[in-house]
Amino acid sequence: MKKNLSEICKPIQPQLQKIDRIIQEAIQSRAELIPRISNHLIQGGGKRIRPTLLVASARACGYRGKKVLPMGAAVELLHSATLLHDDVVDCSQHRRGRPAAHTVFCNSASILVGDYILAKGISLVVNEKDIEIVKPLAWVIVRLAEGEALQLARRGSIPEESEYLTIITCKTALLFSATCQVGAMVARAPKPYVRALENFGTNFGIAFQLIDDCLDYLPGPGGAGKDWGRDLNEGKVTLPLFQALRRCNTKEKEQVLRLIKIRAQENASPLPAPTILRIRGLIEKYQGFEYTRERAQVYTDLAKRALRKIQPASKRKLLEDLADAYQAREN
């Protein structure tokens, strides 16, 4: 019988609760707009998967100390900052089932608060006075911006599968990778362990995003962040649709391309539910979801294989359970 995430994370729940308190402290400011916008995003939910992976990675290396707490808060703040920025760039209307912050507070406010959260995340890392830990996180911030620029350039068109994988690696997987790497570095783990966890994080992150791209087409409450059809509404072709377009007939492909090009224009009206369901039906017809989940399983298997260097096997059990749980998720 498979465990659910709450059961899997039970051993590290006290640390995750402390990380949440550090996050709340970090977003306080005398500038009233900062906590208002920050809380609008952060209290809207979120899986806290990055802090979970950081704590679990350190634990796999035998570390139980407090240094994971500010590091866990830092990676979640970095992630939150990118969400505020991305929603402005993508003209997104919703985030985690709520109106996107920029639709409530305006673009300028969201960008400024995103900058503030990013700076607070970096400051938490710098406060630890360990330049080696700063390096992977500084590098990943650069790659995050590159990934967003690549995706923006391809919006409204069909990317090659290799381009799509580059985008999701930059935008999602590399922060997972850096998070696991930092967990190992906090533990002062030997280099083979650091490399193993870095590779685990990259492959886990790709699998995570592939599943998210499937769940994005689930209607109603559920799906990726409860904002179903988000990618389609933003003119993005992710792997499930990409696979369908490789296999569909010319007429079907032209209809989808026309729709995607219109959606890539700023201020385009959200697609009605029947249209999203029609595209979902096309993906189902040509096994786009099945193909994407199979690819996600490949990356999950690669992630777990990377952990084999960590001995004994009991040390890596939490990370392996997390990989399996996120591969199997349905919401």
pLDDT-wise least confident of 79-83, 159-163, 222-226? 222-226
pLDDT of residue 267: 63
**Parent domain of 22:** 5-328
pLDDT tier, 44 (very low <50, low <70, confident <90, very high otherwise): low
Are the CB atoms for 81 and 114 separated by under 8 Å?
A: yes
How many separate domains does the chain show? 1
Q: What is the Cα–Cα distance from 165 to 45, expressed in whole angstroms?
A: 27
Instruction: Report how far apart, in Å, the C-alpha atoms of 274 and of each of 92, 117, 238, 254, 324 are.
Output: 20, 38, 19, 18, 33
Residue 96, token pair as written in the block = 């985690």
176 CB contacts (<8 Å, ≥6 apart)?
A: 49, 50, 53, 201, 202, 204, 205, 208
Q: What is the pLDDT of residue 87?
A: 84
pLDDT of 226 above 60: no
**Which has the higher per-residue pLDDT, 188 or 93?**
188
Residue 224: per-residue pLDDT? 41
CATH code for position 211: 1.10.600.10
Mean pLDDT (whole number) for 245-270: 85
pLDDT at 120 (0 to 100): 95
For residue range 3-23, what is the model confidence (pLDDT) as tens digits? 788 899 999 999 999 999 999
**Predicted pLDDT of residue 59:** 97
> pLDDT tens digit string along 284-318?
999 999 999 999 999 999 999 999 999 999 999 99
pTM: 0.93
Q: Tell me: the pLDDT tens digits for 141-151? A: 999 999 989 88
Predicted pLDDT of residue 2: 65
Integer-rounded Cα radius of gyration of the chain: 20
